[in-house]
Amino acid sequence: MHRFANPGRFLRLADAILPWVCGATVLSFAVGLYWALFASPADYQQGETVRIMYLHVPSAWMSLFVYIVIALAGASSLIWRHPLADVAAKSAAPIGASFAFLTLVTGSLWGKPMWGTWWVWDARLTSMLVLFFLYLGHMALMHAFEDQTRGYRAAAILALVGVINIPIIKFSVDWWSTLHQPASVIRLDGPTIDPSMLWPLLVMVLAFKLFFVTLLLVRMKSELLAARIRALSLAAVRTA
């Protein structure tokens, strides 16, 4: 892993894989959306609103996954001073925040016809809202200090402390009595969801994951260029 810590090597690797990941993202979204909207059945209880699940579940899983990525990047930055760790965390945070926000909005739009309410302060929904605020806090901290390194360090600490919220979100439906239904895919006794809905869901999960990787590579490249621009501008000011 440390072999790729060199920004130059990372940029070459990113340039080589980006077209492939981008193509795979478009393809998996095309297949996933066709399956989700046209080729999968309506649910016997939820009816057609089950189609919201194909957006809601992948975005919820990704919002948790991206937060773990940010926390790991934070740990790498604090412990090993990994030169790309802060760049990765800074690049991933807006993507994760967007996934968390999408989860909240799609959940709300599903909740109204199914539960009869847009929002309830139950454990799952509230912990998900906390995750969204953690993302916003992380992004704010990264830009809060004149000395960029201090901002990155503070954001890394917040990311590590906030990891406690991840198992709370995952197990909130088991630990507390909530309106949100329990897990139906990642379970010890196997998924309870019918394969005709499980497969399109898994393709959409893959599409969201590839979308994240594509944008992460683009944003990390952009951040590395921004660092080079800052260094060159500073050098120009010094020589002037």
Q: Taking the mean position of all CA atoms in its chain, how far away is CA 76?
A: 18
Nearer to another protein, 52 or 166 (CB): 52
Q: Under the criterion CB under 8 A, does residue 196 sit at the interface with another protein?
A: no
Among 21, 52, 85, 93, binds another protein (CB under 8 A): 52
Q: Under the criterion CB under 8 A, does residue 69 sit at the interface with another protein?
A: no
Q: Could you tell me if 119 and 108 are in contact, meaning their C-beta atoms sit under 8 angstroms apart?
A: yes
x-or-dash string of contact with another protein, 128-167, rule CB under 8 A:
----------------------------------------
Among 61, 67, 135, 211, binds another protein (CB under 8 A): 211
Nearer to another protein, 94 or 137 (CB): 94
For another protein, which stretch binds (CB under 8 A), given 43-51, 76-84, 134-142, 143-151?
43-51
Q: State the distance between the two ends of the chain, measured CA to CA, in whole angstroms.
A: 40
Q: Under the criterion CB under 8 A, does residue 12 sit at the interface with another protein?
A: no
Minimum gap (Å) between residue 177 Cβ and another protein: 25
Nearer to another protein, 152 or 212 (CB): 212
DSSP string for 73-142: HHHHHHHH--TTHHHHHHHHHHHHHHHHHHHHHHHHHHHHHHHS-S----HHHHHHHHHHHHHHHHHHHH
Please give the C-alpha separations between residue 167 and each of 65, 155, 200, in angstroms, as whole numbers.
12, 20, 26
x-or-dash string of contact with another protein, 221-240, rule CB under 8 A:
xx--xx-xx--xx-xx--x-
Among 17, 42, 68, 79, binds another protein (CB under 8 A): 42
Spatial CB neighbours of 17, under 8 Å, sequence gap ≥ 6: 217
Quick one: 141 exposed, middle or buried, by C-beta within 10 A (0-12, 13-18, 19+)? buried
Q: Could you tell me if 64 and 131 are in contact, meaning their C-beta atoms sit under 8 angstroms apart?
A: yes
Minimum gap (Å) between residue 35 Cβ and another protein: 14
Counts for the chain of helices (H) and strands (E), in that order: 7, 0
Q: Could you tell me if 46 and 193 are in contact, meaning their C-beta atoms sit under 8 angstroms apart?
A: no
Among 10, 110, 132, 152, binds another protein (CB under 8 A): 110
Residue 43, φ and ψ in degrees, nearest 5 = -80, 150
**Using CB under 8 A as the criterion, which residues of the chain lie in contact with another protein when the complex forms?**
37, 42, 47-49, 51-52, 55-56, 59, 94-95, 98, 101-102, 105-106, 109-110, 112-113, 211, 214-215, 218-219, 221-222, 225-226, 228-229, 232-233, 235-236, 239
